[in-house]
Structures are given as C-alpha cells and as structure tokens.
C-alpha cells in the first residue's frame, strides 16, 4: 500500500498566508490542507487544494475509484473535483463515501449520467471498497455540522492504516474498535501544538501524546507502527522543535508530497549543509530525536592541546540523548553499510580533512586515493539500510581561500557535497539557524 500525502496542514495550512507569527516565519515547506492518495485509486479526504496538489506531485487522479470523506468542513470537501471529473467524460465508476454532512455538498456536482455512487456511512459500518476493507469509526469533531464526522480504518493485502483527522481525543468506542489492530501507519491530527486553551475538538501536543499512549497500550500502535502527525497549523512550534516534541510519543510530522510505502518503507537519507554556527548539527540531531537508539559517527577526533575544540566536542556530547552511542572514526563506509540503528554522521568536512591527511595530500601526495575514498563513501551512503543523517560544511559561498591548500579543500568538499546530495532523499541548507529544504533536481 502506497500513501502519498497530498497535504499535511490544517484548514489554513502552515504557514497561514495572512500571518506573520514566529511559527509561520520559520516555515521552510508549505503545508496544504490534509489529504492523501492511496495506491492512486483511493482518496482520503478531497478538499479544494487536493486535486492540484496531486498534479504538483506528479500524479493523475484519473484512476481514482473511491473518495472517502471524513466530514463536511470545507478544507476536507471540495465538490468541484467531481465537476472536474465530469468534464473529462470519465466512464469508470466512482464511490463517494462519507457522512451526510459531506455527501450533501457533493450531490449537485455530478452529471445525471455520471457513474458516481454515493455511500452514506456512520460509525460502526464495515464494508468493501474495491481491494480495501473500510471500517468506519467515530470521531470527536464537528458539532457545528451535525456531529457526524468519522475516521477510517483502511486495510488491504498491502497493510492497514488509521486515518484520524479531524478529531479531538478519541471516543471510547473508537479506542475499543482499534484495540489490537497493530496498524502499519497512523495518521493522527495535531492542530494546536502547545496551545491548549483552544476549546475545540482537535488535538494539541499534550492531547496527541495521551492519545498515542492509549493506542500503544491497547495494541493499536506497536513498535513497528509509523505514527505521523497531520493537520498541522501555525499554533505549533517551528518544525525542528515540533519534531522533538512529537518524538516523545514516537511520532513524527508528516510532509506534503511524502510517499509512505507500507511494509516497504525506504530508509531516508538526509544531508544537512550549513556554514559555521548555522545550527546544522542541532538540526540534524533533531531529525533523529524520535529514535530510541542512534549511532553518532563523529569524524572530528581528538585534537591535543586545543581546548576550544575540546569544548565544542563536550557541548555536542552533552546535548545528545544518553541512549545514543558515539563512535569516533573516519572509516565510516563500513559503519554505513552495516548499520542496524539510525546513524548521524558529523561531519563530512572533518572526514575529508582526515582522509587528505591520511594520504599526505598536503605534502604533494596523489589525489587519486581521496577520490577513491569519496566514491566508497557515496556508495556506502547509497546502500545504508537504516535512516541516516549526514552533516557537512557549505564552504563555497565565501571568499576564495588565499592558499592553494584551502582552494583544494573547498573544491573537493564541494564535489563531495554534490555527490552526497544526489544520493539523498532530503537536502537541507541551514542559514542563521533556520532550515531551508532544497528542491530535488
């Protein structure tokens, strides 16, 4: 089962286009209204932004045969999508599923001969939709639209997921219905962050944590479950802080355009670049904050007689969780290939310096073994079987180094960074403590 997250934001998205708060100002990736495309054939919610989001992420909706609405709020129901489909003359059947509050908005948007079947559901319904078993669950949301919002437990031969947006803390009947489910993926709304006085039927961070704890206690969430926070808003702290906060419950924030493959999740490789004191190491550590065990590959080594360097190393060690294991080494290729826990490699600049020292490049030695080392490192990075984050210096934006050695190092590190970026799923540039996610080529 493949799930493409078309949006992971709240009704107003994140950032809110009319807002200048610190949270909105910190955003490096725009989040649209929450929706998902499953196996290219099933939509979980379809607000007004969802069809265009699919196009932006390189997907067509022509194969969609089922749309499952959770409730009738306008960020989840965009009935114009049915008119768009009508204009194509589509002859394939389409199931439009949801509570009355959602379906009532859609009925007038289809042509008299359109092969569209409306299926009104209530909590407790259990049905087949093509290759999927759909269990309809109660939500705590939406008194202003008739209190008929629902959640979905979706299962196929490719896995089982829980689509839980929008809702406050789950009703007891829902907890009972999902007990022992051992979901592969849980997409749970987390709208209000640290703001707990909202008085709405949504989750804030404390409520989110409590809900996940109950799901774990009941066996709905197990050690292998990927818990993804969606319906995120600017009431949340900046993403690096949010990532740390969500990690307390073993969850992570979702991202627009992210593809989740149930049962075959591809390890994620992230390259974090930045200048001196840009916050690159702290950001890299935050990306792995949700992992219970991390191997920290420290390539800087010990520099005798350099107290300033020793102080840097001490501060890095103090902010790492006690469960992390540190390995001081420059032979990182083998560590990457044989990794059994998530890895943090910090950093490529000191690794390259050490390899150049080893091959006596500064004394006129050949560059060929350095290029061989780079090739081996890139190959190991590509083959790493676990989640991995690498940190590197961005040294190409300053003045031209005054020495031949400095220029050589700058050029080689630029080559290494580009090679590593080409094999990474995400590349982040840190500027003044703020992450900028670089687009793929």
Query: Which residues participate in catalysis according to the annotation?
Result: 316
Structural tokens at position 125:
């319904």
Q: What pairing do the DSSP bridges indicate for beta strands 343-346 and 388-393? A: parallel
Bridge partners for 74 per DSSP: none
Structural tokens at position 364:
């006129």
**DSSP summary character for residue 225:** -
Query: What is the torsional sign of CA 138, 139, 142, 143?
Result: positive
Cα 412 to Cα 374: distance, rounded to the nearest angstrom: 9
- Do the beta carbons of residue 377 and residue 256 sit within 8 Å? no
Which of 345, 340, 307 lies closest to 326 in space, CA to CA?
345
Residues composing the chain: 441
CB-based contacts of 175, cutoff 8 Å, min separation 6: 214, 215, 218, 220
Cα 94 to Cα 350: distance, rounded to the nearest angstrom: 57
In this structure, the number of other CB atoms found within 10 A of the CB of residue 29 comes to: 16
- Do the beta carbons of residue 270 and residue 287 sit within 8 Å? yes
- Do the beta carbons of residue 158 and residue 133 sit within 8 Å? no
In this structure, the number of other CB atoms found within 10 A of the CB of residue 325 comes to: 11
| Plot region of 364 (φ>0 → left; ψ -120 to 50 → alpha; else → beta) | left
Cα 170 to Cα 197: distance, rounded to the nearest angstrom: 18
């Amino acid at each position: 089962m493949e799930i493409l997250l078309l949006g992971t934001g709240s009704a107003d998205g994140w950032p809110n286009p009319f807002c200048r708060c610190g949270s909105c100002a910190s955003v490096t990736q725009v989040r649209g209204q929450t929706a998902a495309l499953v196996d290219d054939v099933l939509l979980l919610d379809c607000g007004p932004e969802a069809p265009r989001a699919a196009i932006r992420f390189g997907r067509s909706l022509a194969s969609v045969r089922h749309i499952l609405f959770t409730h009738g709020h306008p960020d989840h129901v965009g009935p114009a999508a049915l008119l768009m489909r009508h204009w194509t003359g589509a002859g394939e059947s389409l199931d439009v599923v949801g509570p009355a509050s959602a379906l009532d908005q859609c009925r007038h948007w289809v042509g008299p001969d359109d092969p569209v079947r409306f299926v009104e559901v209530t909590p407790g319904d259990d049905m087949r939709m093509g290759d999927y078993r759909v269990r309809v669950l109660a939500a705590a949301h939406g008194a202003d639209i008739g209190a008929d919002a629902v959640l979905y437990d979706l299962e196929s031969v490719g896995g089982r997921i829980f689509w839980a947006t929008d809702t406050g803390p789950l009703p007891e009947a829902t907890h009972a219905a999902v007990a022992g489910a051992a979901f592969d993926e849980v997409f749970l709304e987390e709208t209000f962050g640290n703001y707990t006085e909202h008085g709405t039927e949504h989750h804030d961070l404390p409520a989110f944590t409590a809900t996940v704890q109950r799901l774990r206690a009941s066996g709905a969430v197990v050690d292998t479950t990927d818990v993804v926070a969606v319906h995120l808003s600017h009431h949340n702290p900046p993403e690096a802080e949010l990532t740390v906060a969500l990690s307390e419950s073993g969850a992570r924030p979702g991202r627009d355009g992210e593809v989740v493959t149930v049962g075959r999740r591809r390890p994620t490789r992230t390259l974090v670049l930045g200048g001196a004191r840009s916050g690159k190491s702290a950001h890299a550590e935050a990306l792995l904050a949700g992992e219970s065990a991390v191997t920290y590959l420290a390539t800087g080594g010990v520099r005798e007689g350099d107290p300033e360097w020793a102080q840097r190393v001490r501060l890095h060690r103090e902010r790492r969780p006690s469960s992390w294991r540190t390995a001081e080494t420059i032979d990182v290729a083998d560590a990457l290939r044989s990794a059994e826990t998530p890895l943090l490699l910090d950093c490529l600049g000191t690794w390259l310096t050490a390899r150049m020292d080893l091959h006596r490049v500064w004394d006129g030695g050949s560059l060929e073994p350095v290029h061989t080392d780079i090739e081996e490192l890139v190959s190991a990075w590509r083959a790493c079987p676990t989640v991995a984050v690498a940190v590197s210096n961005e040294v190409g934006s300053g003045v031209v180094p005054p020495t031949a050695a400095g220029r050589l190092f700058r050029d080689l590190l630029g080559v290494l960074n580009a090679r590593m970026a080409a094999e990474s799923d995400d590349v982040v540039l840190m500027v003044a403590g703020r992450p900028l996610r670089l687009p793929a080529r």
